[in-house]
């Protein structure tokens, strides 16, 4: 895989459509725990018409992780620094899950070095879920447990692992910090700032970012349409690549 350097860290990436002008670049942003090539044939589809780039985000795939935990804005800064090496005038964003968080944050910025022409969001994150009383009680219990076990590092680490999600437990300490910074941030108020035409593609049975999130995004983004993948999961583009590929081809006029 090709490699470059962003903020003195190695970034690996997929590239398609090298023969096309970098005037318009398609940038794929993957989900948490994934990597650029996870988008499969969608990379080749976009590459038929555009220079197409799919970096492994910092800390994922073949890319080095940051020196310290950073929030979504830090990942956006890294993506912009990566993209600046091609200096595009227009960008099409195709994002999944955590990449959707990055897209929302990026589009909310007042000044960008390029115009965002179109957006495709697969099962995007960013809507803060409703928190039940039971959830808040668990949070208080977790914080109390951490305080009590702070003098005992090994027990504290086991306690954190027993309460953490699969993504949290699989991550390094730095990446755990990145995840924590992201999951409690509600990006719903930023959605109306997305001015580019947006195609939302959602798995009907997505449990990580439920279909209700997609419906909220469709209402909040001024120019958005929603495609539901019947029986699809959080990885709708994997569950029904054919339908997703056709939708992207139509939307991007490929």
List per-residue pLDDT tens for the chain, 254 residues long.
Answer: 899 999 999 999 999 999 999 999 999 999 999 999 999 999 999 999 999 999 999 999 999 999 999 999 999 999 999 999 999 999 999 999 999 999 999 999 999 999 999 999 999 999 987 654 554 455 455 455 556 656 767 555 654 555 555 666 677 889 999 998 888 899 999 999 999 999 999 999 999 999 999 999 999 999 999 999 999 999 999 999 999 999 999 999 99
- Please report, for residues 120, 162, 175, 209, 220, the alpha-carbon distance to residue 14 in angstroms, rounded to integers and kept in the order given: 18, 36, 22, 26, 32
Cβ atoms of 40 and 70 closer than 8 Å = no
Best CA proximity match to 95, nearest among 113, 116, 114, 74: 116
- Helix (H, G, I), strand (E, B), or coil: what is residue 196? coil
What whole-number distance in Å separates Cα of residue 83 and Cα of residue 104?
Answer: 17
Domain boundaries, the chain: 3-128+186-252, 133-179
CATH assignment, 3-128+186-252: 3.40.50.1820
What whole-number distance in Å separates Cα of residue 167 and Cα of residue 235?
Answer: 15
């Amino acid at each position: 895989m090709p490699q470059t350097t962003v903020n003195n860290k190695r970034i690996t990436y997929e590239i398609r459509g090298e023969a096309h002008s970098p005037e318009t670049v398609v940038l794929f942003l993957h989900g948490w725990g994934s990597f650029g090539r996870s988008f499969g044939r969608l990379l080749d589809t976009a590459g038929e018409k555009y220079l197409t780039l799919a970096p492994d985000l910092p800390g994922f795939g073949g890319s080095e992780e940051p020196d310290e935990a950073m929030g979504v804005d830090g990942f956006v800064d890294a993506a912009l620094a990566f993209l600046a090496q091609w200096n595009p005038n227009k960008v099409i964003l195709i994002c999944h899950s955590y990449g959707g968080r990055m897209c929302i944050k990026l589009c909310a910025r007042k000044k960008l070095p390029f115009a965002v022409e179109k957006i495709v969001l697969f099962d995007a994150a960013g809507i803060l879920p409703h928190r039940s009383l039971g959830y808040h009680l668990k949070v208080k219990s977790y914080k109390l447990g951490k305080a009590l076990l702070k003098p005992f590092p090994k027990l504290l680490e086991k306690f954190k692992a027993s309460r953490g999600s699969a993504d949290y437990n699989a991550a390094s300490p730095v990446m755990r910090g990145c995840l924590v910074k992201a999951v409690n941030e509600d990006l719903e108020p930023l959605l109306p700032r997305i001015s580019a035409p947006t195609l939302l593609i959602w798995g009907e049975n997505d449990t990580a970012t439920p279909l209700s999130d997609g419906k909220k995004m469709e209402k909040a983004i001024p120019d958005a349409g929603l495609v539901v993948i019947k029986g699809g999961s959080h990885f709708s583009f994997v569950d029904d690549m054919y339908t997703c590929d056709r939708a992207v081809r139509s939307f991007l006029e490929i």
